[in-house]
Amino acid sequence: MSIGILGGGAFGTALAIALDQTQDVTLWARDTTALSDRRESPRLPGARLPETVTVTAEFAEVTSSDTLLLAVPMQQLAGVLAQIDDPLEGKSIVACCKGIDLETGFGPAHIVALAKPLAVPAILTGPSFAADIARGLPTALTLACQDEERGKALQQSLSTPTLRLYRSTDITGAEIGGALKNVIAIACGVTIGAGLGDSARAALMTRGFAEMTRFAVANGARAETLSGLSGFGDLALTCTSDLSRNYRFGVALGRGDAFDSSTTVEGAATAQALQRVAQDQNIALPIASAVAQLVEGRLTVQDVIKDLLARPLKEEKPC
């Protein structure tokens, strides 16, 4: 089976390196200079792209593959799909980005289904840093596809000796887990940046997980999906590691420091999109709402801390 990957950033490059062990891989990028000449992505320094991976800037060369992996930033996903004239009928299209689209309020697999209704959408998500995948370190992810037989085929073709995939049919749950954990990671970063300590971070992770589960179940997902790799697993990784861009962004917010604007922080846009959707659905998400207001500059860190601590005391519930 041939694999086409759209997106020459850190995660797309890492997937190309990993999957080249078992599949024929073609990697699409807007700028192929570094990938073709130096065989290295500027977003993933030190990780060499094998010579056997074909690099291209032409959509037709990558969309001819049996399976497509979309590793472009969430807010660019719809635009990239709109540039592909091929309806991709019958092909498996696996979204590898995490977030909620600002314009539509949908997750990545649903954006794929809207743009290419004749294709079979899926999502690959879970606790994973591109550098770990590229180095061949053990990583486990969730592969969610509503078509169970297609999901089984994808699980087999996309697994490697060090990349272990667990299968699910709950696309919505996998999407929401991957999207919302980035928002909670920003909140946890703010906590540490503001000097509130590890105990406060643990509390935010726990209550943030409750928000994730509450929102997911309200939108038709299964609660157990959020307890797996695509929810709790990814939350644990991104809320505790300096390798997480969302966590580092939150730390900068908490300290009042500037943050590199060229670094993609999916949780910032997702928090804003999530606030609108949650308001429309009348779902209380106090932590996510606070992050959205921080990102938009409508509240200060001190305001957020005061507001969250002043919330009414109540019985603890898991969601």
Distance of CA 298 to the CA centre of its chain: 26
For the sheet with 2-6, list strands across it. Answer: 54-56, 24-28, 2-6, 67-70, 92-95, 120-125, 139-144, 163-168
Residue type, 288: A
Q: Are 246 and 129 in contact (CB under 8 A)?
A: no
Longest dimension (CA), the chain: 60
DSSP string, 109-126: HHHHHHH-TTSEEEEEES
Give catalytic residue positions: 181
Residues 6+ apart with CB under 8 A from 174: 109, 123, 125, 142, 144, 168, 225, 230
Amino acid at position 278, single letter:
A
Nearest-10 crossing angle of helices 266-281, 286-295: 130
